[in-house]
Amino acid sequence: MDFNKKSGIFHTTTFETAKITQANLSRAEHKRTFDEFQGKQNDTAREVFADITNRNDYKQPSLLENGYPALKAGNIYDSGDRAVSEYSQRRALALTPGSTLNPKLDLSHPAYGLSQGLVSNFSKLGIKSIYPWQSECLLRSGALDGERNLVYTAPTGGGKSLVADILMLKKVIDNPEAKALLVLPYVALVQEKLRWLRKVVEGITRNVPPSQNNHRTSLWRKRGDEDNVRVAGLFGGSKSKATWADMDIAVCTIEKANSLVNAAIDDCSVSKIGIVVIDELHVIDDDSRGYILELMGTKLLSLEQSVQIVGMSATLNNADVLARWLDNAKFYISKYRPVPVEEHLVFDNAAYPASTAKSFYKTATQLYDVTKTKPEPCRNIQPSPCKEFKNPLVNAVVSLANETARAGYGALVFCSSRAGCERDAVLISQVMPRIDEVDLKTLDRRKDLLNDLRSTSTGLDHVLEKTILAGVAFHHAGLTTEERDLIAISYDEGAIKVIVATCSLAAGINLPARRVILHGARMGADLVGPSMLRQMRGRAGRKGKDEIGETYLCCQKSDLEAVAELLESEIPSVESCLIPEKRGIKRALLEVIATRLATSIESLDDYIKRTLLYHTIEYPDLVKMVELTLEDLERSELIKKDSDEDFHATLLGQAIVASSLSPEDGLFVHRELRKALQAFVMDGEMHVLYSFTPIQAAHGDIDWQKFLKEVEKLDESNQRAFGFVGLKMTELNRMAKGGSMKENTPAAMDKARIYRRFYSALQLRDLCNEMPMHEVARKYDLPRGVVQNLAQTCHGFAAGMVKFCERMDWGALAAVLDHYSDRLKAAIGVGAKADLLALAEIRFIKSRTARVFWENGLKTVAAVAAADVKDLVPVLLQAQPRKVKLDSDEDKNFQEKLFRKAEIISDSANKIWGKQMQFKLDEEE
């Protein structure tokens, strides 16, 4: 242990340097305390420094097992007196007082009114007590009684979600008719939260009075599991068609939540909604989606019955304004982090302490201003002898990640691009311990991960194949959700030590790390914003996983000044997106009129006063804005006035709201479907697939030569569809020869949109014709995640198009699209023909596997349900992608996994078949 003469405080070093002995390497999977590193770092650093002083003596090591050359990372050592932050002084202190000191920190305390079963479930999941701020927020805000709205903020990892979980569960358990809605911005967060809540409510029943069991309305039919707390997930691409009768807690994306509220208002079941929780409330400021969140909240505030609204975020600068919007909600601000975090700025192979924004700004200013005295670094990163690490920024990122992993901890590296993620992952893997230096248990888990990735519909990525055995992976939107989930699980279990992710995923993942390393502070070419930067740095240190967290922001000189200003700047205040330039006000007014929440000038004025916009703009300006928007909606024939001067949505307006489109997108779809009414090609597939291609896919670049080649291969009927949607071969030929497409007028923009949409429809065609997702991605030179997103969103969009036609009274077109939409359902997995549709409903059976089952005589759900589990294993084996040869132990493990998967398939088939039989019996009655 080192003694700091200036502060008089003993402190320990952070990690060992890269030169760790063979004996220590065998302990890589075990977390160690900081005291285990005492006294070794400085001696080791001097030895390493002597080893590489003469860089000419360095020889390139042999190749690694994956074919890459083994490289040497720069060694890291402390220099001078390591600064002692407020966090390092807390290392020896209890981070959180226990329930013995404060009984109210025990969830079983009567003040919370939670059942013993629920408390027990939390305990099994590792939550045995809560933090003081959580207790205070629950008990003093009034939210626990269910009567008061609540807005609260706490740092990432500070325990925000638990407060909302308790409020939701108490509401639905104590009030058996009440439903809860949890709104999250990203599909990955919805899926993660869905898994968590299902574990929390396992075996938990609602407090249903005995008298209610005999007096259920026809809306809530008696079922065997009716009294259990049921959690359902609703998001783009999900197959769930759950209604309020089937769930108590709905975990939704923003768009699905808004649609659910609209439907509840429309069918008069909205009175069932007892509580709505909005996580990541700051997303209300997002240009593309924020207005949907605001208009949903405003509709809830406009209801006659009271709905409790709870909003939370780690990055809110004006919680008071949001609280005023949410009907004068109580607001609570916590700055407590259960795991202390030490922050650093890294520049030119040196790390400087930056525990506060002020100190960060001061350090950065001293570094980029040549007239100022340079600060003293707390750590130095020795230059690597390898040419690959000549750039100090790259050397720092790789060395810091390597040091973390070799000490047995997890590191999360953020990069500005997908290509940068993969490049960093490869470089870091080249400095990690060789296979013969890794303990067998960890190595087996990494091999299992490789086998699991090979078994996905996309097969194993060639870069991951080379990095995973070294304990390194990347994680970006170019991967499919299955790949990202498998990697995240392996990281959480400790098999993967380093994950390199894009900045854009910082808010959409829950991957805590001992050390967060930022490879610059850019997202693409632009600097990240203050909120995003805090999201990334907030991933450092999580309760129950690490004693402390660390962040290292690695900068190049040209960015130092901008980053210094970025760190000193406050988080921007959240503002309303219901302004004309963000187009939110138009959709808000159309939806409230279409759902008849407000139709007169007076009721619309009352509605608009309930928006967040009302709290952020002068009222006269707001009134003028509403008047102009109503006039615009009338001109677009989306609303009209009756004789009493009340507004009503036209058929077109109703169709746009029913299909969850924005007014602008709805008008585009209307023009496209009107063309289809005049001429629809039914003897080919392209016209219907074009109609089902989400208009959000009509963005991005087109490979015009590829586009031309694919269109030329279309048969006569599908080429007619190409012409009927408004495209021309002469124009396509011109673009393939290097021409440019103008988008300077609304008509030209629509034309470009149609070309992009048809190009995406070609990809959808390949998926529906059973081309594997990774082959489609390679064919069109697209990330696999982009292709998967198309496959996942097309079915929901197709359902929206059917609704649109039904509302427009276009019965014939609605029937045609509805007929074809059944086939499209299987395309969500990878794509399948109509004869595989029923099989594709079974869990783990998608198009590739469904085809193999069908070819082996298992052509129906009943056949799969009746089959012996052991007879399903050989069929599953045939459906697996080509694999490398496995040794006997690996092969045994693989066979066991297939058997467990066969058991799940059999169970799923039996449940589906049982429901089908019950449905037939009900019909016969």
pLDDT tens for each residue of 441-500 = 889 889 888 888 887 767 788 899 889 999 999 988 788 877 888 898 899 888 999 999
pLDDT tens for each residue of 320-364 = 899 999 988 999 998 888 888 888 888 888 888 876 656 667 777
DSSP3 helix / strand / coil % (the chain, rounded to 5): 50, 10, 40
291-313 average pLDDT score: 90
435 and 557 Cβ atoms separated by less than 8 Å: no
**Which of 2, 44, 3 has the alpha carbon at shortest distance from 403?**
44
Q: Please, which pLDDT band fits residue 216 given cuts at 50, 70 and 90?
A: very low
Instruction: Choose between 924 and 78: higher pLDDT.
Output: 78
171-191 average pLDDT score: 88
The pLDDT value given to residue 236: 65
User: Tokens in use for 87?
Assistant: 């966090």
Whether CATH 3.40.50.300 fits 124-208+224-333: yes
**Which of 209, 866, 255, 317 has the alpha carbon at shortest distance from 575?**
317
Which range has the top average pLDDT, 583-587, 661-665, 767-771, 881-885?
A: 661-665
Which segments of the chain belong to CATH 3.40.50.300? 8-79+339-568, 124-208+224-333
727-744 average pLDDT score: 91
The pLDDT value given to residue 150: 95
> What is the model's pTM?
0.75
The pLDDT value given to residue 918: 67
As a residue count, the chain comes to 925
CATH number for the domain whose boundaries are 8-79+339-568: 3.40.50.300
The sign of the dihedral angle between the CA atoms of 503, 505, 507, 512 is negative
pLDDT averaged over every residue in the chain: 80
Whether CATH 3.20.20.120 fits 663-831: no
The sign of the dihedral angle between the CA atoms of 390, 393, 396, 402 is negative
Quote the CA–CA distance of 546 and 334 in Å, as a whole number.
21
pLDDT tens for each residue of 691-720 = 999 988 877 789 999 999 999 999 999 999
Strand pairing partners for 555? Answer: 347
Which segments of the chain belong to CATH 1.10.3380.20? 663-831
Which segments of the chain belong to CATH 1.10.10.10? 580-649
521-531 average pLDDT score: 74
454 and 881 Cβ atoms separated by less than 8 Å: yes
CA distances to 55, 69, 136, 245 from 60, in Å = 11, 8, 59, 66
Which distant-in-sequence residues (6+ apart) come within 8 Å of 246 by Cβ?
A: 230, 232
**pLDDT above 70 coverage of the chain, percent:** 81
Q: Please, which pLDDT band fits residue 10 given cuts at 50, 70 and 90?
A: very low
Whether CATH 1.10.10.10 fits 580-649: yes
- Terminal Cα distance for the chain, rounded: 80
541-546 average pLDDT score: 70
